[in-house]
Amino acid sequence: MQIDLPNGSTELLALFGAQLDRSPSPATHTRWANERALNWIYLPISAPGDESFLKMAQALMESPHFRGANITNPFKTAALRLSGVELDASARHCGAANTLYRKSQSNRHQWRLANTDLAGCSETLQKIFSEHSHEDLESLECVILGTGAMAHTCLAAINQKTTAAVAPRVQCFGRALLQTHQFNEDELQKAKVLLVINTLPSSTSDEAKELAQQTLATLARVSKGASKHLFDLAYGHTELHSIARNSGWSVVNGDQLFEIQARASFTLWARPTAPILPTALQPIEG
């Protein structure tokens, strides 16, 4: 059924962030809503800072036509300051949130925040860990590039997917520390499995791209005998991925993470299971 949008019953979904032109979320959720004939419109809304974001989100939450939102950088932590909003376990665990939704469809003034990125990170890490034996994972070293909301979410996912018997050493590095390469080289030399998680915007920032490339080169030199994995949150294929693969790294990008978190967000808004359709990162066949 084709719906002419917007009309008097249209409900608004928003994507809050700072740089939204590369986000696949608007196209993905619009595609899914159209497939299910849902009277929704999904709009990217840029905000210059935390206070502006909080003011806009708080005002929209008072509207009966506002259904919810995705929240991306740099507001995933600031979202926890929204007034009158309950945090679910994932948001509490990560200290950040990316999805705002109504707690109950019957009460439009009860709101909840979730971090659906956590599920995406956990499933991606499980795929990487499944390639190795329990014994090899006992000497797993994880290096996280970045210290923002996604870095905290990835750290929470690592804690979810590992046990006391397999407790990897995890080192988180912000840009200042990465520039000095202050890695624990003694521990890295012992690693049988090295996992680097890149949360820096290396696909859009030349500075972050160069920093990530230099870091991979340094880590490869230090941990020569380890099986090396790069989990880069960037979508699609990037120059960093090519460099890593050519140097013998196994590379996983952010496409699977996006698909999992997008389906989880859509389900929270729609309540039924999200449609099994391609995201905006994938072409529609036929």
Per residue of the chain (286 residues), give pLDDT as tens.
556 767 888 999 999 999 898 899 999 999 999 988 899 999 999 999 999 999 999 999 999 999 999 999 999 999 999 999 999 999 999 999 999 999 876 666 789 999 999 999 999 999 999 999 888 888 889 999 999 999 999 999 998 877 644 667 888 888 888 887 777 778 888 889 999 999 999 878 899 999 999 999 999 888 888 999 999 999 999 999 999 999 999 999 999 999 999 999 999 999 876 666 788 877 544 3
Residue among 99, 121, 122 at smallest CA distance from 111: 99
Residue among 158, 160, 177, 179 at smallest CA distance from 169: 158
Residue among 81, 149, 85, 143 at smallest CA distance from 115: 149
Position 271 scores a pLDDT of 81
Q: Are 96 and 80 in contact (CB under 8 A)?
A: yes
Position 274 scores a pLDDT of 64
Position 286 scores a pLDDT of 37
As a whole number of angstroms, the distance between CA 237 and CA 243 comes to 11
Position 253 scores a pLDDT of 96
Residue among 119, 50, 102 at smallest CA distance from 80: 50
Place of tokens 């939450």: 61
As a whole number of angstroms, the distance between CA 131 and CA 125 comes to 10
The sign of the CA dihedral 169, 138, 186, 219 is: negative
Domains of the chain (ranges; CATH) run 11-115 (3.40.50.10860), 119-253 (3.40.50)
Number of other residues whose CB lies within 10 A of the CB of residue 147? 17
